[in-house]
Structure 1
Amino acid sequence: MSIQSVRRKILKLIPAGAVGAFVAACSGAVQNGQNKSAQTTQSTTNSPATGETITLRMQSSWPVKDIFHEIFLDWGKKVEAMSGGRLKVNILPAGSVASATQLIEAVDKGTLDGGHAFPAYWFGLNRAASLFGTGPSFGMDAEMMLGWIHYGGGQELYNELIQTKLKKNVISFFHGPVPTQPLGWFKQQVKAPADFKGLKYRTAGIALDVFKDMGAASQFIPGGEIVSSLERGVIDAAEFSNPSSDEGLGFPDVRKVLMLQSYHQPVEMLELQMNKSKYDSLPPDLQAIIKYATMAQSADFTWKMMDRNSKDLETIEKNGVKVFITPKSILEAQLQAWDKVIAKESADPFFKKVIDSQRAWAKRVASSRLEIMVENKTAYDHFFKEAQA
């Protein structure tokens, strides 16, 4: 009996209403098989072969004891988890391949696939780099500065700076809004702007000029060398970043006065860099994982810093460090110095382009934030001040 005859007999046994469904099911199975085949082909085309792992070789700018190095490691773990192991990140300690200020060169040349740093470290290449985290606040905090990066044109301006003006084969992802950086660590309490006259003081980026205007002999020293420089008397005082970083690096061992709050760096944020050619060579889903893992790390960073900074500040005080709030007269002197620095540096068209963009964003966003967000000191004092007295 022929196959055709068998097929006709089978169809005669199936109720008429079900024949269409039977044929459609058979057709659907064929179509589904074709779709799965196409999906498999597409998946194979856009991703590494089964079992293949891409390893990114990156370097930190931070001493291994610094919480920023820990944050970089946290990001690497997120990338590996989100990619299901298709992306591995080999994070090298600071100085393994390049110094902090030379990291961008190593990433540009492909010696490293990426790195983790502050944009102010490229200040020597173009002074406008300092505006991406170490510029004037215009009433913003670091969260609002990140808002400018993502929604106010900041990312595009940074791409223009790094890729067009500096001609670096580098793509950057901003994250990690750093809490307002302390005025720093001193031998004794700083009470007035005049106390900065002749002070050998470590800071970074364009804040160097702010403190020079206030009379300080300011200079840049990499994070891992600051404590030894204080110990040897190379500098008198210094700021680095936050209570957790400072405590981990050993600042309380060499200075017993910590001045909190300052306008020199209240909008700092972290920068993840990648060699652009390496990034562009990755499948689209892995590119997306790198981008969105950085955003996820930004949130995780914020929460971790709340926890760790508060605990580490308590530890610092318990270990005999006297903590003071920076006097308003010093804050006002910083703002006056910023006026002069902005006026001078704005002679450069690109610097002015960036500063004007930030000012416009801050005027709208900081204003609305001040109106919307309730002042919290009154509530804190109500619930806790009397109990602490």
Structure 2
Amino acid sequence: MNKVDNTPKSKVATRRKFLGGAAVAGVATIAMPQVSRAQTVTLKMQSGFGATDILSDYGRDYVAKVNELGGGRLKIDFLNSGAVVKPFSVMDATSTGVLDGNYSVPAYWYGKHRAASLFGTGPVYGTNADQYMGWFYYGGGDALYRELTQDVLKLNVVGFFAFAMPTQPLGWFKNPVAGPESFKGLKYRTVGLASNVMQALGASVAQLPGPEILPAMEKGVIDAFEFNNPTSDSRFGAQDVAKYYYLGSYHQASEAIEVVFNKSKFDGLAKEQQQILRLAAMASTADNGWKAWDLYSKDLETLQTKHGVNVKRTPESIFKAQLAAWDKVIADISADSAQGPMIKKILESQKAWGKRVGFYAINNEADFKSAYEHYFGPMKV
């Protein structure tokens, strides 16, 4: 049964006039860049870290942001390390399309080109990890990353950086570390160019992914190791195989997570979906950074109070020896006829950024140590 419209004609005319105007406005709106009507896309992304590692938690945080912002039309399935390929193989798997993406670090594929390690495990030019992220997004780092991955290595990938890791500890040792001489003949785990630095100090270096560290320590394959932070380290049981934990180092002072996608898959996404993947990485940098300060400090306390770990500050002599080692490593890798040109290009960009940003940051920083000791007394470390 049809309803009778008793609306006065004057009001009907007014409403029609309004709706007509709205229709015109709607046409104008549609003429602007259109919202995609893309079908649902689900991407397979594998972590380069252990399932219980806080770094994988950060990956799940990133995925949660993407899935929420995707509005049901863009989803990521986050796979644990080793679900499809081994941790050091995620970049190749992403490039070939075996994986749609990976959540890892460039040091895991630096065997392809040593310049990869400069994106996180390179020399320190006076800036910290957060300032390093500024270089990537505003100092030309992203363009150099694209040049290395796509033009030089011909990888079919596109990547963003997410989460600037606080300076990574020198690591875990069975015995106290007196100075650089303690590394002579020491079997030590690290990755990327940090391996060259520690070798220059006299260590015998084994490059192992996170899940393989503890078994190697238990079997005597390595004597000491570094991984990343108090939370990651304590979760896989570092405190059960060593009791001396040294904070501070130049071997990995400004590493960042990379979020990498197969380029063909990425290029096939709607523009707003591409932006979601990129902006979620930037949002994760801040969110995970705040979370890290909370978790790392709590877990460091627990290592000391519950597990009897001796937390120490790395001796100044080791910092100085590491800088000298970096000078040697930089000279060696820059002289390489094949890889040297790209390495020099990246280092020059990072050095220029460090000189400018480091000058401002270091001179502008408050003396936080003095403020801390004013309220809490001298640091006992």
Question: TM-score normalized by structure 2?
Answer: 0.92
What stretches of structure 2 of length at least 5 have no aligned partner? 1-7
Q: CA deviation at 1:33?
A: 2.4
Deviations 1:117-162 (A, max 9, x none): 0111111000000000000111111011101001110000000000
Letter in 2 for 1:341: V
Question: Does residue 327 in structure 1 map to residue 319 in structure 2?
Answer: no
Q: CA deviation at 1:82?
A: 1.4
Structure 1 segments of 4+ aligned residues over 4 angstroms from their partners = 21-28, 37-45
Q: 2:211 aligns with which of 221, 224, 237?
A: 224
Question: Does residue 58 in structure 1 map to residue 45 in structure 2?
Answer: yes
Letter in 2 for 1:326: T
SS of the residue 2:82 aligns to: coil
SS of the residue 1:350 aligns to: helix
- Inter-CA distance 45–338: structure 2 relative to 1 (3 Å threshold): closer
Deviations 1:241-293 (A, max 9, x none): 01011011111111111111111100111000011111111111111111111
Q: Is the 8 A contact 1:189 1:259 kept in 2?
A: no
Q: Is the 8 A contact 1:108 1:275 kept in 2?
A: yes
SS of the residue 2:377 aligns to: helix
Deviations 1:297-353 (A, max 9, x none): 111111000000001101111211111111000110000000111111112111001
Deviations 1:17-57 (A, max 9, x none): xxxx9988745522422554676798987222xxx432111
- Percent identity between matched residues is 45
Letter in 1 for 2:103: H
- Inter-CA distance 71–45: structure 2 relative to 1 (3 Å threshold): closer
Q: Which has the higher helix share?
A: 1
Question: Does residue 33 in structure 1 map to residue 32 in structure 2?
Answer: no
Q: CA deviation at 1:98?
A: 1.2
- Inter-CA distance 255–387: structure 2 relative to 1 (3 Å threshold): closer
Q: 1:146 aligns with which of 121, 133, 145?
A: 133
Higher mean C-alpha deviation, range 315-324 or range 149-158: 315-324
- Inter-CA distance 252–354: structure 2 relative to 1 (3 Å threshold): same
Equivalence for 2:5: none
Equivalence for 1:47: 37
Q: Is the 8 A contact 1:116 1:270 kept in 2?
A: yes
CA RMSD of aligned residues (A): 2.3
Aligned-partner Cα distance in 1 for 2:264–2:379: 58
SS of the residue 2:168 aligns to: coil
Q: 2:156 aligns with which of 159, 169, 172?
A: 169
What stretches of structure 1 of length at least 5 have no aligned partner? 1-9, 15-20
Aligned-partner Cα distance in 2 for 1:123–1:290: 24
Question: Does residue 376 in structure 1 map to residue 364 in structure 2?
Answer: no
Question: Does residue 360 in structure 1 map to residue 352 in structure 2?
Answer: yes
Q: Is the 8 A contact 1:148 1:358 kept in 2?
A: yes
Q: CA deviation at 1:215?
A: 0.6
SS of the residue 1:55 aligns to: strand
Letter in 2 for 1:336: A
Q: Is the 8 A contact 2:373 2:379 kept in 1?
A: no
Question: Does residue 272 in structure 1 map to residue 275 in structure 2?
Answer: no
Aligned-partner Cα distance in 2 for 1:43–1:247: 49
Aligned-partner Cα distance in 1 for 2:236–2:283: 26
- Inter-CA distance 187–168: structure 2 relative to 1 (3 Å threshold): same
What is the count of residue pairs matched by the alignment?
A: 369
Question: TM-score normalized by structure 1?
Answer: 0.90
Aligned-partner Cα distance in 2 for 1:109–1:132: 22
Aligned-partner Cα distance in 2 for 1:265–1:63: 20
Aligned-partner Cα distance in 1 for 2:379–2:268: 59
Choose 1 or 2 for highest CA Rg.
1
Aligned-partner Cα distance in 2 for 1:191–1:314: 23
